Amino acid sequence: MNKKGLATYDMFHIIIFTIFVGLFTVNLVMFFDAKSNDISTIPSFTHEQILISRILYSPSCFMYYDQTSGRTITGMIDINKFTQERFEGCMLSRDPKITMKLSLTKNNEILETLGAPDFIKKTKSYRKELYNVNVKDRNDNIINAELIIEIQNDKYKTSNSVMEKVLGVI
């Protein structure tokens, strides 16, 4: 091959190599950018769901703990644990913008109510959930009841937000 042909041959390889490196770099940047976005996207009501799970399943909150079997019976509330002091201790690490109110009812009659004194359910960030539970009362009888959990989250008060649509407030 002559010198002119050799220079063209080298130029062709340099162009192909440059295109390959450029595409590789673009893909690498897009990969890490996508990973960083996935990490930072957390649903806005995750903290509320964690608090609800703590209320419904944690023996350190309101669930009945059977001493003989050594197990927590989920879905059964110990009425002796259903106090304002335990509620405040259970919600100790919570976000101050989230306020909750718990009502234990049977046949639409309120048995016990706990919650934050500043709870107002007229805000746009209000939602209410109902759970059927068993309650071990002070006489060790088991009764069927409803646990109403009312949540107000002042972080998400923007009108027509996605949060409100998901929660069904609008």
Give the domain extent around 30: 1-41
3-state SS string for the chain: CCHHHHHHHHHHHHHHHHHHHHHHHHHHHHHHHHHHHHHHCCCCCHHHHHHHHHHHHCCCCCEEEECCCCEEEEEEEECCCCCHHHHHHHCCCCCCCEEEEEEEEECCEEEEEEECCCCCCCCCCEEEEEEEEEEECCCCCEEEEEEEEEEEEHHHCCCCCHHHHHHCCC
Type of residue found at 51: L
pLDDT digits (tens, 9 = 90+) for 110-159: 888 888 766 666 566 677 888 888 888 888 888 899 988 888 876 654 44
Task: Let me know whether 57 and 103 are in one domain.
Answer: yes
**Alpha carbons 47 and 60: distance in angstroms, whole number:** 18
Q: Tens digits of per-residue pLDDT, 46-79?
A: 777 888 888 888 888 888 888 888 888 888 888 8
Is 51 found in the same domain as 10? no
Residue 8: is its pLDDT beyond 80? no
Looking at the structure, tell me whether residues 50 and 103 fall in a common domain: yes
Q: What is the pLDDT of residue 93?
A: 52
Pair (79, 118) in one structural domain: yes
pTM (whole model) above 0.85: no
Percent of the chain with pLDDT over 90: 1
Residues 6+ apart with CB under 8 A from 4: none
* Domains in the chain, number: 2
- In tens, the pLDDT along 71-83 reads 888 888 888 888 8
Higher per-residue confidence, 110 vs 97 = 110
pLDDT at 160: 41
pLDDT of 40: 53
Looking at the structure, do residues 62 and 102 belong to the same domain, yes or no?
yes
Determine how many CB atoms are found less than 10 A away from the CB of residue 156: 20
